[in-house]
Amino acid sequence: MGFTSDRIEVSDALECVEYFYRENMTDGLPVVPPTEQRVQQFLEAVALSADAKIAEIAERASVITAEKLAINAVMAGCLPEYMPVLVAAVEALADPDFKFNHLASLGSPWPMVIVSGPIVRTLGMNHGMYVFGSGNRPNATIGRALSLLLWNCCEVRPDAIQRGQLGNPHRYSLCIAENPDTAWEGLNEWEGFDRTTSTVTVASGYHLCMTRSACSVPRGILAPLANAIARHEFEPGCIVVMIPPNLEALLVEQGWTKRHVRDFIFAHCRRSVKDLKEDARWGRRASRFVDGLKDLVPVEPGDEERWVYLFKRNPDLDPYVFPEGALSRRADIFIVAAGGDAGQTMGFYQPYEQSTIPVTKPIKLPRHL
């Protein structure tokens, strides 16, 4: 079958699982044995030869071949029909905008994978209740396949380049889908593709944050979200927001599109200078350091009325809060229509905005699919 990977002989599937543990080839969970026959099925699903180059991750001097992607996808428990999604996801991870080496950061960032478009329905992905949780095979195993691929082919492991201070529970798997029936434009359309083109977006971040609304008008629904975003890392970047269908319906009924939601968040994410000083965010990580700073910067009269905006620039105040590099990158709100249809919970993925920006790639389907 033309494989170049080393062939490993084991007595049975259980011995395969133990062997992969011993050789540090898994993420801590058992794997499906990647037999030649099974790997071949995955390659046929995307009509690729084993040596086909999917992408080159320049920062790790690593060329990802279809063979290595298929092996790790088998191990993760994928089905062959998930391969087109994985190919597009690897292309996104290798894009220069993703800036792959940020995965080595002490902050433990990890990319969230978002699938948008008709393939969500085709594969039976979860975009509803417990969208971030367990129980759906494509969501769980697509995310895990990428995790294993980076583990085995790009040295993204704690014993190699992944030096996260606390680590990240999303490291095992993080893949969600967007509701393909959303009344809004899909994330695929937001990123410049048409509604019939399925896409994968990778967006690096730290963790899922949730907030709840107790209101039914747009400003009241979104105010807690904007406030929660502003209370977190407070650095301009691309923030992925999840709006569930019942709240989406309320917003749509009142004429609010995704762009209205984005503009509201842009306008309302702010913190006062007093707040930033009391939170030790003033004059520390910014391009302008407060000389001799050893402790909290004293609050001065009027600081409670001086505002720093996350998405609106103020050249007088921004240098005391934001690093230079943070102000020149894309800042946006990626709104994903996803979640259960009851409750008031919205989510956002706190971005690792410090060098990476989200990347979206179209999913290319072979002719027979």
Partner 1 sequence: MTLIVLDPRQAPNARAVTPAKRLASLSKKRLGLLWNNRLGGEELLKQIAELLHQKYDLAEIYFTKKTFIGNPAPAETIDDLVSRVDAVVVGVGD
CB of 89 to partner 1, least distance (A): 17
Angle ∠(34,366,60) on CA atoms, nearest 5: 55
Closest-CA residue to 116 (of 77, 89, 144): 89
| Residue matched to tokens 């792959």 | 100
Cβ pair 241, 335 in contact under 8 A: yes
Which runs of consecutive H residues, i.e. helices, occur in 234-342?
Answer: 245-253, 258-268, 273-278
Q: Tokens 């798997």 identify what position? A: 173
CB of 177 to partner 1, least distance (A): 26
152 lies in the binding site for partner 1 (CB under 8 A): yes
Record the tokens describing residue 260, joined without a space.
Answer: 């209205």
In 3D, which of 66, 60, 72, 63 has the Cα closest to residue 20? 72
By DSSP bridging, strand 345-351 and strand 238-243 are antiparallel
| Closest approach of partner 1 to the CB of residue 103, in Å | 11
Question: Does 62 engage in binding with partner 1 (CB under 8 A)?
Answer: yes
Positions in 77-136 near partner 1 (CB under 8 A):
99, 101-102, 105-106
CB of 188 to partner 1, least distance (A): 28
- The CB density around residue 313, as the number of other CB atoms within 10 Å, is 13
Q: Are 307 and 271 in contact (CB under 8 A)?
A: yes
328 lies in the binding site for partner 1 (CB under 8 A): yes
Q: Is 325 in the site for partner 1 (CB under 8 A)?
A: yes
Closest CB 189 distance from partner 1, rounded Å = 30
The stretch among 55-63, 169-177, 260-268, 272-280 that binds partner 1 (CB under 8 A) is 55-63
By CB under 8 A, name the one of 285, 288, 306, 312 that touches partner 1. 285
Window 208-227: residues binding partner 1 (CB under 8 A): none
Rounded CA-CA distance 269/281 in Å is 15
Encoded tokens for 175: 């893949």
Least distance from C-beta 319 to partner 1, angstroms? 12
Stretch that binds partner 1, among 67-75, 129-137, 312-320, 335-343 (CB under 8 A): 67-75
Task: Name the residues that contact partner 1, by CB under 8 A.
Answer: 3, 5-13, 15-16, 25, 33-36, 39, 60-65, 67-68, 71-72, 75, 99, 101-102, 105-106, 148-149, 152-153, 155, 284-285, 287, 323-326, 328, 354-356
